[in-house]
Structure 1
């Protein structure tokens, strides 16, 4: 059985990706930050459908915790799947907080950097010895990093996601000798808990988003999760170093 690690699997895109990957027959190790209940619910949903999942706590903004997390992953792989490697890594965990350049504090900038760029960099580095040859990595980026989707208030957030886009290509190059494929997905505006549940708190923003979207609606987590699951599957065996926008044609 293939095994995937999905960070930020307690809700939204990460939860959908974990469930979609499990539906295709892989075991899942998913992580949660502050939302333990969501993490356990995701694991329960997978197991209800006959899959196998383990939920683990992880703050991707605290790289000092990565060695202990790696050891825990190794134990879970042995105990749950009788393996010493896993196959797919989904670097998805993150947060968003809009702030103009004029108002952004160094504290917010540094936190965005630690979670959105430094975290995926060093978590991947730490887990790489456990990642099986022929495996796959997907990094969750954002269409805010695209030249066609610049929105005021997201300079710091988009800069980190732009760095992740570059990192994706370098990972693809460096890991290719081991047959490991690396791609990114760039969701458009999607109904998730990111930004403190902005969609729920500010429903008035939805009509403006749909008006800018060619397919005429806001994105849903399953729109993204299905693509992530496809990218780690053998169907995408000849796809690497790509950044796929999943936005329904935002600003098209």
Structure 2
């Protein structure tokens, strides 16, 4: 794959991401999760189709569970958090009275987690940092999808394109995307963020996700989580 924009070093070295990075990360993960007696085995990788890379072409190096299932949950978590949860947290941080419209905030964040984002500005910055990380993750996936002459079918490209950064590190795609299609989240089935897209009876659109988050207090007796971890655990479990 041709590297179109690159630098030999310094701060300007912001090369576009490549699918090879994902293979390298999985290799490191595999190495550090094996003890010295297991390192004689090496996962084999290869493509089923000549000009296409899918989840099935990535080595399954997970100790517990399947790589695709774990990554799919992680990706859906980042998507749901950034385009649903964070927006409400930001509104409450600006207007304390807005929490009356957000049942999951009062139950999972303020009551159970002991967090008040209107007064706790430092914690709100942490929430925003996670949102920015989510944006950069999808921008990274966008680079990976578009860096190769082969078709890379891992994540819905429309979702990734919303977080593309320009050369000045401005979120050129994000703001125009969110302004024009603010309600898109509530129409898109979150299961369709990760490819391949399959038809399901149990769709997880924004409304369904929101309702599940509001009703999550019934499952809180089973968790030992504290603080912001309660909210994060709830989002992750819903996105599995």
TM-score (norm 2): 0.28
Relative contact order (alpha carbons < 8 A, sep ≥ 6): 1 or 2 greater?
2
TM-score (norm 1): 0.27
Structure holding more helix per residue: 2
